[in-house]
Structure 1
Amino acid sequence: MKCFIICGERSGDLHAGNLAAALKDIHPEVQMQGWGGDQMRAAGVEVLQDYEELAIMGFVEVLKNLGKIKGFMESAKAQIDAFAPDVLVLVDYAGFNLRLASWAKSKGYKVVYYIPPKAWAWNRSRAHKLRTLTDLTLAIFPFEVPFFKEFGVNVKYVGNPLFDAIRKYEADGAFLKKWEGKKVVALLPGSRMQEIEAMLETMAEISKQVEDYTFIVAGVSSFSEDFYRSKGGNFELVYGKTYDLLSIASAAVVTSGTATLETALFKVPQVVVYKTNPVTYAIAKLLVKIKFISLVNLVADKEVVKELIQSDYTAEKTLTELKKLLFDNKSRQKQLDEYAEIIRTLGVKEASRTAAEEILIQQNK
């Protein structure tokens, strides 16, 4: 069996890597090529394009990079044709992957979409596209199944892959020893340059304003220490240690995205924050049809964590919410109790293995 896998960001690489490892475990003879990063490489995938070059987000930013994106698309098509896979697996990264799915379907390739577009949030036309462009869609939230089925999508819930990533986590003893006895606040500014640029300055500002707590930024290896330090502040910086950091943190300030759910699964009280290009935000406000932006609140279908978005994301407001989680036991415990309910909702399926089994079934049809 030959499988081509495409993801376009850090979280996609993590989940695609775990999926590839499960495919290899079930079917050792599988040949895999794709687009991704170190996690996919470690699982035995021949990575032809690194995801870090693909990390373009936001309406304005995409418009600025249309030529670059077109070049990536043509490159992907040529590589898929050269490999001639039995199945094409698309992981998240909807703007690019749905266009690629259209081409792949026209060429007769079997297409499986793992971690589908959030069509329930905005752009419901993507649900119609999944029906016509994919042979199988593998959902990672229970509420996605009835939503996509309304549009005639062949969809199955496989569990949430973050559980798999956390199961594989092995604590770094040296890291834990270094911070033993310290009271820590985790700062997660994101993984893309434009996210970090928008988020870190305010995080750095609050890092100077809570006595007796050490603020630690979860850094991404592709950005230098000088880049992080340019925002000022009084924080420590660690690279590649997000899970270790969450395992010792008393609370966290987290940029909206996958990291909000990871933080909840580590049972760390958090404030969710987000800021983007004003034009991008204005367009999103018109298009997005959901009450919340954080995955924690979306899964719970109510406000579990405070969201400070755009103009509300200030040092003063963030600090106010953070102090509630650090010093108000009632506020802290309420969030932790809600986390427990979210974990029950998601279930404990081994998502990567379940997804791999479904892909193999589909490949044989």
Structure 2
Amino acid sequence: MKYYIIAGEASGDLHGSNLMKSLYKEDPSADIRFWGGDLMQNVGGTLVKHYKELAFMGFAEVVMNLKTILNNIKICKRDIEKFKPDVIIFIDYPGFNMRIAKWAKLHGIRTHYYIAPQIWAWKENRIQAVKRDFDKLFVILPFEKYFFEVKHHYPVDFVGHPLIDAIHNRTKTDEATFRREHDLDEKPIIALLPGSRKQEIAKMLGVMLSITEDFSDYQFVIAGAPSQDYHFYEQFLNDKNVKFISNKTYDLLSIATAALVTSGTATLETALFKVPEVVCYKGSWASYQIAKRIITLKYISLVNLIMDEEVVTELIQDKFNTKNLKSELTKLLDSGYRRQLLDKYNQLENKLGGIGASDKTAKLILKELK
């Protein structure tokens, strides 16, 4: 079978790589062409365009880069026509993927969506486009099955969350070796996860670093995103109590005592590593003003959305400041508070369905195609 996969972000690259491994296991002769990143490229197939060229954050940023986005859509359509896949597998990245899916259905190409667009958060009217343009939908959050099947009468497959696979299957790190290799001392580690895009890192990291002097008994370590080069972070590294480690986020979380995390997939990853966290977010003024008028969710972090309660503290926009961050980190370091939080993390993991999301999805895709 010929598979065309489109992943437009770092998280999509991770989940796409694991799905590709499962597809090759189920279909050894699979011919895979994809938009993604280094992780997918390491599995095999043919990379068309790297997600580093695709990532734009927020409403204002998308508008500013609209010409580039539209050109990428044209390139993608031409490449699909030339490749003639048996199925296109879309991974998250809805703004781009739903445009391609509409076009693909008109051209009679099978369309499967792995990691459903979050229309439960905003633009719920997109359900009509989902019903029209996708042959199969594989969802990874337990409440999504209710949203699509009960509320909107559209059958989906709940396959579990692929992050559990990614964390379970990773090569475990030895803490002593990791500390030695990265020149870390024996102090407990506070991990800083400021995001993967330049715009969000620039907004988040400065505030995160503003509290380091207040926690001299701890060592702060920035988790560098694989999509950004080291020189971009250099402007922030003026504190001797701060270290920088690129593309080793899972290894870092496995030994961290606590974490300050930019809202996104990383909030769930941090919870699954059982690391107490504060969730942070600050966007541009324009993007935030638009978002708060059209998004009606009670929470922004996946941890709280899945649990339907405030398990982790969210510091959003003006609340994301030095004073609040210092106060919340102090709470995370309290043993009683930590025990309560870790108990909630265990409940969260049970809700997510266990390991095997990638294998389940690959099997369902092959079953549908045959």
Superposition TM-score tier, normalisation by shorter sequence: over 0.9
Taking the TM superposition and a 5 Å limit, the aligned residue runs for 1:197-346 are 197-231=202-236, 232-233=238-239, 234-326=241-333, 328-346=334-352
Mean Cα displacement is larger for which, 341-350 or 187-196?
341-350
TM-superposed CA distance for 1:176, in Å, is 4.6
TM-superposed CA distance for 1:180, in Å, is 7.1
1:158 pairs with 2:163: no
1:201 aligned partner, one-letter code: G
Taking the TM superposition and a 5 Å limit, the aligned residue runs for 1:50-89 are 50-89=50-89
1:363 aligned partner, one-letter code: L
Mean Cα displacement is larger for which, 337-346 or 124-133?
124-133
Give per-residue Cα distances to partners, 1:282-334, cap 9 Å, x unaligned.
Answer: 110011010000000001000000000000000111111001111x2221111
Of 175, 178, 182 in structure 1, the residue corresponding to residue 178 of structure 2 is: 175
2:271 aligned partner, one-letter code: A
For residues 23 and 225 of structure 1, the distance between their equivalents in structure 2, rounded to whole angstroms, comes to: 34
Give per-residue Cα distances to partners, 1:181-233, cap 9 Å, x unaligned.
Answer: 43100000001111101101111211222021000000024433332131244
* 8 A Cα contact 1:246 1:263, kept in partner: yes
Q: TM-score with structure 2 length normalisation? A: 0.96
Partner of 2:358: 352
Q: TM-score with structure 1 length normalisation? A: 0.97
For residues 180 and 138 of structure 1, the distance between their equivalents in structure 2, rounded to whole angstroms, comes to: 44
SS at match of 1:218: strand
For residues 261 and 29 of structure 1, the distance between their equivalents in structure 2, rounded to whole angstroms, comes to: 34
* 8 A Cα contact 2:19 2:358, kept in partner: yes
- Please, which runs of 5 or more residues in structure 1 have no aligned partner? none
1:238 aligned partner, one-letter code: I
For residues 227 and 165 of structure 2, the distance between their equivalents in structure 1, rounded to whole angstroms, comes to: 25
For residues 111 and 224 of structure 1, the distance between their equivalents in structure 2, rounded to whole angstroms, comes to: 35
SS at match of 1:208: helix
Aligned CA-pair RMSD: 1.2
SS at match of 2:75: helix
Partner of 2:197: 192
For residues 302 and 206 of structure 2, the distance between their equivalents in structure 1, rounded to whole angstroms, comes to: 24
Tell me which stretches of 4 or more aligned residues in structure 1 moved more than 3 Å: 176-181
SS at match of 2:210: helix
* 8 A Cα contact 1:117 1:126, kept in partner: no
TM-superposed CA distance for 1:177, in Å, is 4.8
Mean Cα displacement is larger for which, 251-260 or 218-227?
218-227
* 8 A Cα contact 1:142 1:157, kept in partner: yes
* 8 A Cα contact 2:197 2:228, kept in partner: no
* 8 A Cα contact 1:252 1:268, kept in partner: yes
Mean Cα displacement is larger for which, 176-185 or 229-238?
176-185
* 8 A Cα contact 2:5 2:33, kept in partner: yes
Q: Percent identity?
A: 45
* 8 A Cα contact 1:137 1:153, kept in partner: no
1:140 aligned partner, one-letter code: I
TM-superposed CA distance for 1:171, in Å, is 2.5
- Please, which runs of 5 or more residues in structure 2 have no aligned partner? none
Mean Cα displacement is larger for which, 92-101 or 204-213?
204-213
